[in-house]
Amino acid sequence: AQKITQTQPGMFVQEKEAVTLDCTYDTSDPSYGLFWYKQPSSGEMIFLIYQGSYDQQNATEGRYSLNFQKARKSANLVISASQLGDSAMYFCAMREGRGIQGAQKLVFGQGTRLTINP
Amino acid sequence: DGGITQSPKYLFRKEGQNVTLSCEQNLNHDAMYWYRQDPGQGLRLIYYSQIVNDFQKGDIAEGYSVSREKKESFPLTVTSAQKNPTAFYLCASSTTGTPGNTIYFGEGSWLTVV
């Protein structure tokens, strides 16, 4: 069964608009972590934002925020005031368990290709 | 600067040959990982290691081997048994004592079988 689902293969947005990238997840573990990464065409994975399952507030990092709806098992990434440099692939990923002990194995979604138009 | 270094960036291999991808980190992380990415797809876990001299299979370990003789190094060998090795390979490392955003990736290695 797919553990991370990103239903938007591609999105096109006008510069300066806000954009929401969807991510739903599936786990029976009460402890988990959710990550968003940006992958530009050069290939490196750039960490954007993290949300722990027990975190009370939605995570924010600059222009990035995570709309965490635990009951719906959704963790959408919101990018405010989009810029041309935001054009890239975006991946949602999940780590099951608290990650306190042992390795932090991630399961990735298929990604969403975001294109920002001038 | 602290980080993860992968080499080579681009590698071409003839069918039937083994090839080794290098991954070195100076972040003092205990855990290291290898992921594979196919075009237009997400990452899939090949192998991971939580400590020196120990490693575990991930979801797609067949046709790959690893070693962890030093904390800083986690090389991946793509063997001739790997039926479709052409892909982008990413190495990562993390702490094992704290949760959260402590997973770092290298810049990746492109492997093409010719």
The string of DSSP letters for A83-99 reads: -GGG-EEEEEEEEES-S
Q: What is the predicted pLDDT for the residue at B95? A: 83
pLDDT band with cut points at 50, 70 and 90 for residue B108: very high
What's the rounded Cα separation, in Å, for the pair A88 and B50?
31
Instruction: Give contacts of B90 with chain A, Cβ < 8 Å.
Output: 43, 45
A111, B11, B89, B113 from B85: Cα distances, Å: 21, 11, 10, 7
Instruction: Give contacts of A4 with chain B, Cβ < 8 Å.
Output: 42
Instruction: Give contacts of B96 with chain A, Cβ < 8 Å.
Output: 101-104
Closest CA relative to residue B76, chosen from B39, B114, B35, B112: B35
Q: What is the dihedral of CA B53, A106, A111, A5, to 10 degrees?
A: 140
Could you read off the pLDDT of A96-110 as tens digits, one per residue?
Answer: 876 666 778 899 999
Q: Do A101 and B96 touch (CB under 8 A)?
A: yes
Q: Do A103 and B49 touch (CB under 8 A)?
A: yes
Determine the distance in angstroms separating the CA of A94 from the nearest CA of chain B, rounded to an integer.
11
Tell me which of A10-14, A61-65, B1-5, B109-113 is least confident: B1-5
Determine the distance in angstroms separating the CA of B58 from the nearest CA of chain A, rounded to an integer.
9
What's the rounded Cα separation, in Å, for the pair A117 and A15?
6
Q: What is the mean pLDDT of residues A76-103?
A: 89
Q: Which residues contact B71 (CB under 8 A, 6 or more apart)?
A: B28, B30, B52
Q: What is the predicted pLDDT for the residue at B3? A: 92
Decide: A111 and A52 in contact? Cβ < 8 Å.
Answer: no
Closest CA relative to residue B26, chosen from B89, B88, B104: B104
In the numeric block, the tokens 């071409």 are attached to B12
- Among A44, A49, A98, the residue with its CB nearest the CB of B99 is A98
Q: What is the predicted pLDDT for the residue at B103? A: 86
- Among B40, B41, B100, the residue with its CB nearest the CB of A33 is B100
Amino acid present at A21: L
Q: Which residue of chain B is at minimal alpha-carbon distance from A91?
A: B42
Q: What is the predicted pLDDT for the residue at A104? A: 82
Indicate left, alpha or beta for A9 from its phi (over 0: left) and psi (-120 to 50: alpha). alpha
Q: Do A52 and B100 touch (CB under 8 A)?
A: yes
* Percentage, residues of chain B above pLDDT 70: 94
> What six digits make up the tokens of A88?
């890239």
Instruction: Give contacts of B43 with chain A, Cβ < 8 Å.
Output: 45, 91, 93, 106, 108
DSSP lists the bridge partners of residue B53 as none
